[in-house]
A and B are shown apart, each in its own frame.
Chain A
Amino acid sequence: MSAILADAAPILQIEDLSVSFDTAAGQVKAAENVSFVLHRGETLALVGETGCGKSVVASSIMQLLPGNAHIQGRAVYAGRDLLGLDEREMSRIRGSEIAIVFQNPSLALNPIIRVGDQVAEMLRVRKGAAAVEAMQKARDMLSGLGLQGEKKMRMYPFQFSGGMNQRVMIAASMILSPRIIIADEPSKGLDGALAKEVMAEMARIKNQSGASLLLITHDLNLARDISDRMAVMYCGEIVEIGRSEEIFNKPLHPYTAALLDCLPERGFQPIPGSSPSMINPPSGCKFLPRCPKGSERCNRMPGMATVEGMSTAFGSSESIGREVRCWLY
């Protein structure tokens, strides 16, 4: 976990972001009224089950969604709304200021260009660095992530395992020292020990450059280990946001509590039922059909409520309370 910084000014503000897709079966509401703030130097984890809309939030920030997506809301970075920028301005920001590490590295890398060249290319294209210097930096970056030696630099992505490709992706996205790194399931495909190593290296590079990290993951333990704050998503909505350690120790939303009970160390207690349809979601609280604490009032949509007495301040200059979307609070 990164040290809590005195200067905890917001670097990215997501305000009421809603994303829907037109499909043959109807309109899929992938994200609804998502709001959160990412601070300078902070690691914020967006956690939730597959299909809850985590990756959609990340892709909409980077304007990487397909044409059938309807996006509403704002994503304010450095005083500008990213969602309103044109493609030329956006491509200047992508990579050099906000970088994204995708969950499927084998698809994100060019299969017929050597990995060393792919990492060095970022410096040559964006910073105009000389070829030799760029290669040297790429070599340093890759060896820091456990891919040492000239031979590895000259290999192609298809000669690497999924985990090695993931490290190449991390190197390529971090070599330009971006101010925000969005990592979409960066530990996917890596086994336990390696995942920890790669995440530790990622955290080290992030702390060195003072960047902020938006970590998207369904691995709750990873989120707890490396994030300062955590936002729990269910069915396209953020249901709880607060300090990771506090959420782990005292989850407030019934869904967060149920999700944590699924963890091996808490005895694999399953959540009854399954996630609702994103085309026709329940009109009130979306967790109501599976909630053990549901009541009549839950048929109305609850708003985000700040819970007093549970300060989850990030940095010393600002205090942010725990926020929960539940009628119980």
Chain B
Amino acid sequence: MLAILKAEDVSLVYESGLIFKKRHEALKGISLQLQPGKTVGLMGPSGSGKTTLGKILAGIERPTSGRIFFAGRELGTMNKSETTAFRKAVQMVFQDPEGSLNPKKSIEQSIAEVLAMLKIPSGRWKDVTGRMLEKVGLSEELLCRYPGQISGGQCQRVALGRVLLLQPQVIILDEPTSALDISVQAQILNLLKELQRDLGLAYLLISHQSNVIRFMAQETIVLEGGMISEQSSTYSHSSPGNKPQNIA
């Protein structure tokens, strides 16, 4: 199957100092592919560049060298409408669920913001919101509340629901359950799997928990010091067509 999002030899270097420049290589020669309906797990110790790589793939940060392709087109060479399509299609869900939502806006306002941006007529908002809440397993009672008044698991579901409104093809999940209880973690992971099955989403799952990766991913990449130190298919869940690719 064709990759929907692909990174080719991506590197990122941070420089500091005016005259005596200090170079810090955050990422070195990373190549990976995300396919529809599949999950790639990204592991590694803190500071190994996992989140930075996620941000580069989501187009939030730019690599120093290397190329990112979305549906066969290279980022940076796209025209305006293609860039808009990329921005909608590739979404990121962050670790801290409460931090992803504006604390001064009710859940309804936070959702309405996305709907307005998508230019959905306000007459349809109630209907669209209702269907979205159903998809992520939330009740409409929640709409009038503020992020501080709902639980972490509910916040993460709202954040995920907002992302789904954009009908993405790829979701970068940056430690989506590490701030949650085990019971809520189980709920969110199963929900993510269900959504992937129904909508054919491609996931890049960043996590430091190997059992979460094993449960979710068909392929695992381990980053160490900004480089891929290990790349393998994850047993038990991998299909025969999904052979490990040694890109590193």
Report which A residues bind B (CB closer than 8 A): 49-51, 191-192, 218, 220, 258-259, 261-265, 267-271, 274-275
Contact = CB atoms under 8 A, between A and B. Distances in A.
A191 B207 CA distance: 12
Contacts of A263: 182
Contacts of B212: 264
A263 B209 CA distance: 12
B204 to A, nearest CB: 19
Given A49-B183, A268-B215, A269-B186, 20 more contacts: A49-B184, A50-B151, A50-B152, A51-B151, A191-B46, A191-B208, A218-B181, A218-B182, A259-B182, A259-B183, A261-B186, A262-B182, A262-B183, A263-B182, A264-B212, A268-B190, A270-B183, A270-B187, A271-B186, A274-B151
Looking at A259, A262, A270, which has the most chain B CB atoms within 10 Å of its CB? A270
Contacts of A275: 151
A164 to B, nearest CB: 14
Contacts of A51: 151
Contacts of B152: 50
B151 A264 contact: no
Contacts of B100: none
Interface string B139-165: 000000000000111100000000000
Looking at B154, B182, B187, B208, which has the most chain A CB atoms within 10 Å of its CB? B182
A264 B151 CA distance: 21
A276 to B, nearest CB: 12
Contacts of B33: none
Contacts of A262: 182-183, 185-186
Nearest to A52: B181
A270 B181 CA distance: 11
Interface string B113-154: 000000000000000000000000000000000000001111
Interface in B198-212: 208-209, 211-212
State the majority secondary structure of interface residues on B: helix
Nearest to A261: B186
B75 interface: no
B183 to A, nearest CB: 5
Contacts, number: 46
Interface of B: 46, 151-154, 181-187, 189-190, 208-209, 211-212, 215
State the majority secondary structure of interface residues on A: loop
A271 B188 CA distance: 11
Contacts of A265: 211
20 contacts: A49-B183, A50-B181, A191-B46, A191-B208, A192-B208, A218-B181, A258-B183, A261-B186, A262-B182, A262-B183, A264-B211, A265-B211, A267-B215, A268-B186, A268-B189, A268-B190, A269-B186, A270-B183, A274-B153, A274-B154
Nearest to B137: A274
B46 A270 contact: no
Nearest to A266: B186
Contact of A268 (B151, B154, B185, B208): B185
A270 B190 contact: yes
Contacts of A267: 215
A329 to B, nearest CB: 23
A49 B181 contact: yes
B197 to A, nearest CB: 15
B227 to A, nearest CB: 21
A229 B215 CA distance: 30
A157 B186 CA distance: 34
B139 to A, nearest CB: 9
A263 B189 CA distance: 12
A215 B154 CA distance: 27
A274 B136 CA distance: 13
Contacts of A259: 182-183
Nearest to B138: A274
A264 B209 contact: yes
B211 A271 contact: no
Contacts of B209: 264
A92 B185 CA distance: 41
A271 B187 contact: yes
Nearest to A218: B181
In the A-B complex, the 5 residue pairs with the smallest Cβ-Cβ separation, listed nearest first, are A264-B211, A270-B187, A262-B186, A270-B186, A268-B186
B190 to A, nearest CB: 5
A51 B186 CA distance: 17
A271 B183 contact: yes
